[in-house]
Amino acid sequence: MIETYAFGNYLYSKLHDLLLRDESASANEAGLELILKFTNSSRYKANEQAKLKKGTFALNDYSFTPQAIERMTMGLAGSEHVMNALRKLYQDERAHLSSDESRFELTYDILSEWVHPSQTSVFHQYVEETHEIRTSVGRIGLFDSATFQCAVAIHFITDANNQYQWAMQLADEMERRASES
């Protein structure tokens, strides 16, 4: 959820900045292009698109959905990485709180300690042992802190409604501009 929240926030802030810079209806086209880049954001999709352009393979070499064919031929895939969105989220929080450390980053790091399926099973599983630190006085457990971080992370779920409202305001603004042109 933290990644989804950060990615949405990153998109909406870029779209907001674009609409502030350009008050004209033509900014809608740039806004729609931006939204498409985020919607089709995938390094894999962007790499496949580049391979198609270079002639590494042809569309009829593989079975693609009509949507994938359209995306690839029109060059719609972008590679806006989620890490950029997370970095922006952490930066914004540090600036807002005048802090050197991001609590959101700590939450993300603590909660992302999962056992990978290739190590033990086909399922991701949260393991308490990842938060045990060996010290000279024995093991110190950070599991309680990780549990607390789950409560902190609920913020991203509850604030999703605010993100939705922001997206609707941006959409209304784009629609208003379109109707004026």
Whole-model pTM?
Answer: 0.66
Buried b (16+ CB within 10 A) or exposed e, 106-144: ebbebbeeeeeeeeeeeeeeeeeeebeeeeeeeeeebee
Summary mean pLDDT of the chain: 83
pLDDT digits 0-9 by tens, 91-148: 999 999 999 999 999 888 877 765 455 455 555 566 666 667 778 888 777 777 777 8
Other beta carbons within 10 angstroms of residue 174's beta carbon come to 19
DSSP tag of 53: H
Amino acid identity, position 124: H
